[in-house]
Structure 1
């Protein structure tokens, strides 16, 4: 799996459509302070599913959309696309080329697409799970992360080894299965409580029915005696 290209439009400082092609080997992005180098990393984080605004160095989702300048009007949409070469089928899909797109409109609507087909954020997370490309993976190394690994802050070394071993997806599925099992057990408990209440009501109704039946029998006997 190889990152082929990054397309940015209306995201942060990128007002115009900007395409970065990544050839085989090492690619460096060089430029003066304030030219948008960090925003490139933010755009990659965002498109692969980052939902913590603080990790994108922003205050809210609206601030991800180009806000305009003295010479340019504001954009109404932030859009980022990542294209991967998948000839070795490391991504769980039959396509040799996979493009992931994320959009955010200033109106508050969000959109995710895989190869131009609408999908969920969960689908994107599942696609990249255990590939080394995710919001909590070590594909993107920031300042301070190396120290965290050395100090084993928050079990960072264990997480890194689990990602390398490819077991993160199984732990995630286990967690999801556990949540579903817990929810099912809670539903069963509620059903048992409901059945208990219904059973008590049935017993009460049976008792009332017997009393009513006895009443009509006595009433019938009384009429016969009266005649």
Structure 2
């Protein structure tokens, strides 16, 4: 594998933004500036650094473990844009991975708590965020889905909840942790077609759901898998 210079990383980052992300209707100037500034290559495992800006998911472990992958850059960018993070937002992420999405979120939000089920990945994510100089993102080892999402509720309510992976359905227990006006983003459904799903809490028990685009993503571990059998 050939090594890449900082200049070639800069060119690859520019190409990623112009050729993958803009064509996916990510046009928010703040999001595009953030993607140009946060060094994605610093969050990619060393074995895959040359593919840091490729239009694909990247395994986070060697050997690869099902579900443990960085999402494709265009999916990360579109999720970030559509969540419209505000400087006062308190954000919960489920699935820290390498910490890259937490870095993007923390660059826009007041505070981010990111839960990661794999202790080794959590440690790596913490180190990556520290090297990036981000002090408002806290990575914790937890099985987010355990005990009816108990680990997610300690600091609720949240302004934003992001599931950095796919689920069969949005768990109602997570929606209950949203503040009024809060929004949850998840990739919902089953292969070959899943929907990016955004749920906004509009009242005590009122929610509005939008599913503006299709994609696929690895499953988050231990989330409920309801039966797909229908009469």
Q: What is the TM-score with the length of structure 2 in the denominator?
A: 0.27
Question: As a proportion of its length, which structure holds more strand?
Answer: 2
Larger radius of gyration: 1
Question: As a proportion of its length, which structure holds more helix?
Answer: 1
Q: What is the TM-score with the length of structure 1 in the denominator?
A: 0.27
